[in-house]
Amino acid sequence: MPSTDRALSVLCLSLLTLLATASAALSAPTAHAAPAASAAPVADGWSLAPSGGGRPAFYAEGAPGTVLQDTVSVTNRSGRAVTVRLSGTGVAISFAGPSVRVPARTRADVPFTVSVPEDAAPGDSSGAIVARDTDGRSRTVPLTLRADGPELSALTVEHVTVHGDRIAYELVNRGTTVLVPTLAVRADGLFGPVLDRAPRTLPVELAPGRRLRLTEPWPSRPALDAVDVRLTVTAGGGAQDTALVPARFVPWGAVAGAGSAVAAGGALVVVRRRGRRSDKGGGAAPCPDHQAELTGAST
């Protein structure tokens, strides 16, 4: 009997163990697989970059009139096709096609050309290539275009005139570089300088070939003087020019008043003289011509 009891005890223990395991399995929370991440928006799945890799931006260089070629890549890493429209800003850019459709997980290489204008001044111009998808999202790659040629700084000051209390003049950029001019003004009268302004930088920027008309205030100009006005302009690169113009200041109101007084005095003198001649004539009656001369006497 002791062996039988021992066997029954082992059997009961095994059954209890199986029941506990099954109960734990039934009561444990069910584990669900994590949902797959939703696909990224199409715009986040594509990119724009210079072809070949390793270039963060485009750089093109050539003489005026040159047409340069390069390639831009549109890479679509998403699971859906994407269509983008290409355009250029800042410089003259032409693409092989205005838009490109890029299938999922595919890269499209689009050739384009950059034209250096015939009249381009030596130096850099900034632009960009822009790609925009059908959802309105865009990508941009900068582009720098350099026009070759000698850099020449040349500046002239022209058509200087004095009007009232202002000095008018024109500045012309005769070179190939952008200039920020500096102006000095001096005026010398009969008895010495009447205006002397030290050189100062003007708040303007002159592009090559540009002409700009400006004025310089002169509120304290002389009332009566003969003056030589000199304008001197300078700019970077050794550009410099000087213009000299004479100006005559006369108080015409005072002159006109003095002239009227002189004319009136002359008329009075003539009338008096002719009156005296009549007295010497022994009391003769005045002739009609004598009466007429009283109204328009001159000397």
DSSP string, 205-263: -B-TT-EEEEEEE-TT--SSEEEEEEEEEEEGGGEEEEEEEEEEE--HHHHHHHHHHHH
Cα torsion for 292, 294, 298, 299, to the nearest 10°? 110
Looking at per-residue pLDDT, the higher value among 150 and 238 belongs to 238
Contact present, 104 and 120 (Cβ < 8 Å): no
Q: Classify domain 155-249 at the CATH topology level.
A: Immunoglobulin-like (2.60.40)
Asked whether the predicted pLDDT for residue 8 surpasses 70, the reply is no
**pLDDT, averaged across the chain:** 78
Residue 203's pLDDT is: 95
Residue 120's pLDDT is: 84
Q: Which amino acid is at 244?
A: L
pLDDT band, residue 114 (cuts 50/70/90): very high
Note the pTM of the prediction, 2 decimals: 0.50
Name the range with the highest mean pLDDT among 1-15, 221-235, 261-275: 221-235
> Domain spans of the chain?
42-147, 155-249, 252-293
* Residue-wise pLDDT tens digits, 191-208: 999 999 999 999 999 988
pLDDT band, residue 124 (cuts 50/70/90): confident
Residue 39's pLDDT is: 34
Contact present, 174 and 154 (Cβ < 8 Å): yes
pLDDT band, residue 253 (cuts 50/70/90): low
Looking at per-residue pLDDT, the higher value among 260 and 64 belongs to 64
Looking at per-residue pLDDT, the higher value among 261 and 162 belongs to 162
Q: Phi-psi category of 132—alpha, beta or left, where left has phi over 0 and alpha has psi -120 to 50?
A: beta
Residue 27's pLDDT is: 40
Looking at per-residue pLDDT, the higher value among 269 and 212 belongs to 212
CATH class of 42-147: mainly beta
Per residue, what are the HEC states of 4-16?
HHHHHHHHHHHHH
CATH topology identical between 42-147 and 155-249? yes
Angstrom CA distances, 65 to 60, 92, 120, 151, 244, stand at 13, 11, 8, 17, 40
The number of beta carbons lying within 10 Å of the beta carbon of residue 208 is 19
Q: In what order do the strands lie in the sheet with 155-163?
A: 155-163, 166-173, 211-217
Q: Which amino acid is at 224?
A: L
